[in-house]
Amino acid sequence: MSGVGGITTARRDTAAGDIPVDTPRLPAREAAESELSKPMYHENDPNFLQRALNQFWDWVAGVFDAAAGAAPGGPAGLAVLVVIVIGLAAAFWWRLGTPQRSSRSADALFDSDGTRSAAQHRAAAETHAAALRWTEAVQERMRAIVRSLEERALLDPRPGRTADEAAAAAGRTLPEHTTRLCAAARSFDDVTYGGRTADQPTYLSLRTLDLELDEAKPLLPGTSRGATG
The band of 101, judged by pLDDT with boundaries at 50, 70 and 90, is very low
pLDDT of residue 150: 92
Chain Cα centroid distance, residue 209? 40
User: Residues 113-151: pLDDT tens digits?
Assistant: 568 899 999 999 999 999 999 999 999 999 999 999 999
pLDDT of residue 217: 86
The band of 158, judged by pLDDT with boundaries at 50, 70 and 90, is confident
- Smallest CA-to-CA distance from 164 within 123, 125, 194 is with 194
- pLDDT score of 67 more than 50: yes
Q: Which phi and psi angles does 133 have, rounded to 5°? A: -95, 80
User: Residues 162-214: pLDDT tens digits?
Assistant: 999 999 999 999 999 999 999 999 999 999 999 899 999 999 999 999 999 98
pLDDT of residue 123: 96
Backbone conformation region of residue 199, classed left if phi is above 0, alpha if psi is from -120 to 50, else beta? beta
pLDDT of residue 113: 56
Report whether 80 contacts 73 (CB < 8 A): yes
Summarize the confidence of residues 68-72 as an average pLDDT. Answer: 63
pLDDT of residue 42: 58
pLDDT of residue 227: 46
Of the chain, the end-to-end C-alpha distance in Å amounts to: 148
Q: Determine the Cα–Cα distance for residues 166 and 102; give it in Å rounded to an integer.
A: 19
Q: Determine the Cα–Cα distance for residues 183 and 94; give it in Å rounded to an integer.
A: 46
pLDDT of residue 35: 65
User: Residues 3-40: pLDDT tens digits?
Assistant: 545 444 445 554 445 555 555 666 667 766 676 666 66
pLDDT of residue 83: 73
Name the more confident of 119 and 157: 119
Q: How many helices (H) and strands (E) does the chain have?
A: 9, 0
- pLDDT score of 71 more than 60: no
